[in-house]
């Protein structure tokens, strides 16, 4: 969908135009499905979250401001919010509380591997419960950080592959990864009383 067409669709959405909603859904439904499925691997409620995403978009379309981003950025943000609600409604609080039950060394090792240049920590993420906690943490991050960390550490993509996919330079991707890792560290260890080097710190 080119920029002019997107502007026409956005205007139609704000006016409640049925044809605009059809075009909007056809253009983005599959992409929303893939986004939600990536954030909720193996979950049986993906279709419900996708449906809630579009219902929420319908309720808030009049507030959409093109100057703040594209239709996809707006819709993707809504989808991520509903994934976060899913985790909360499905005992997300208990998942995060269990993080404290993991040895500090395990949590530190996950963060340490991300912050070093070691290979993707596939073994460290193999446990389904820990993987669920990590994925839940990723939903707390800005969408760009979530996508970047998922590609690098959960899907095993190289810096070169990510740079090519995003039509960006390796240096730019490395810089964004550094910021994303810092954001992940803060979110993943927020319930802990230990920093990644083992020193006590405020939660």
Does residue 198 lie in a domain region?
A: no
Exposure string over 30-60, b if 16+ CB within 10 A, otherwise e = eebbebbebbbeebeebeebbebbbebbeee
Overall domain count for the chain: 2
Q: How far apart are CA 17 and CA 82, in angstroms?
A: 24
Q: Which of 44, 60, 89 is the last residue of a domain?
A: 89
- Asked whether the beta carbons of 136 and 96 are under 8 A apart, the reply is yes
Q: How far apart are CA 45 and CA 136, in angstroms?
A: 15
Give the range of the structural domain holding residue 32, as residue numbers without chain letter.
Answer: 3-89
Query: Is residue 85 located within the same domain as residue 7?
Result: yes
Decide: helix, strand or coil at residue 109.
Answer: helix
Q: Which of 39, 58, 89 is the last residue of a domain?
A: 89
Does residue 176 lie in a domain region?
A: yes
Does residue 196 lie in a domain region?
A: no
Q: Which of 63, 89, 115 is the last residue of a domain?
A: 89
Does residue 14 lie in a domain region?
A: yes
pLDDT values of the chain reduced to their tens digit, one per residue, 203 residues = 667 788 888 888 888 888 888 999 998 999 999 999 988 887 788 999 999 999 999 888 888 888 888 889 899 999 999 988 887 776 545 555 555 555 555 666 667 766 665 544 445 454 556 667 777 778 778 888 888 888 888 778 889 999 988 888 999 999 999 999 888 888 877 644 333 343 333 33
CATH number at residue 26: 1.10.1740.10
Does residue 201 lie in a domain region?
A: no
Does residue 96 lie in a domain region?
A: no
């Amino acid at each position: 969908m080119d920029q002019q067409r997107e502007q026409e669709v956005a205007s139609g959405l704000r006016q409640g135009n049925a044809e605009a909603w059809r075009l909007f859904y056809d253009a983005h439904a599959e992409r929303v499905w893939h986004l939600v499925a990536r954030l909720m691997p193996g979950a049986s409620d993906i279709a419900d979250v996708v449906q809630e995403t579009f219902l929420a978009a319908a309720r808030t379309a009049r507030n959409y401001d093109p100057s703040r981003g594209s239709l996809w950025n707006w819709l993707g943000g809504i989808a991520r919010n509903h994934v976060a609600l899913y985790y909360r409604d499905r005992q997300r609080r208990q998942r995060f509380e269990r993080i404290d039950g993991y040895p500090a060394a395990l949590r530190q090792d996950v963060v340490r591997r991300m912050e070093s240049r070691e290979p993707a920590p596939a073994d460290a993420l193999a446990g389904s419960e820990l993987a669920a906690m990590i994925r839940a943490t990723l939903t707390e991050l800005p969408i760009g950080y979530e996508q970047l960390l998922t590609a690098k550490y959960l899907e095993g993509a190289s810096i070169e592959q990510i740079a090519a996919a995003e039509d960006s330079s390796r240096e730019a991707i490395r810089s964004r990864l550094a910021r994303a890792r810092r954001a992940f560290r803060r979110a993943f260890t927020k319930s802990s009383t230990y920093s990644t080097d083992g020193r006590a710190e405020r939660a």
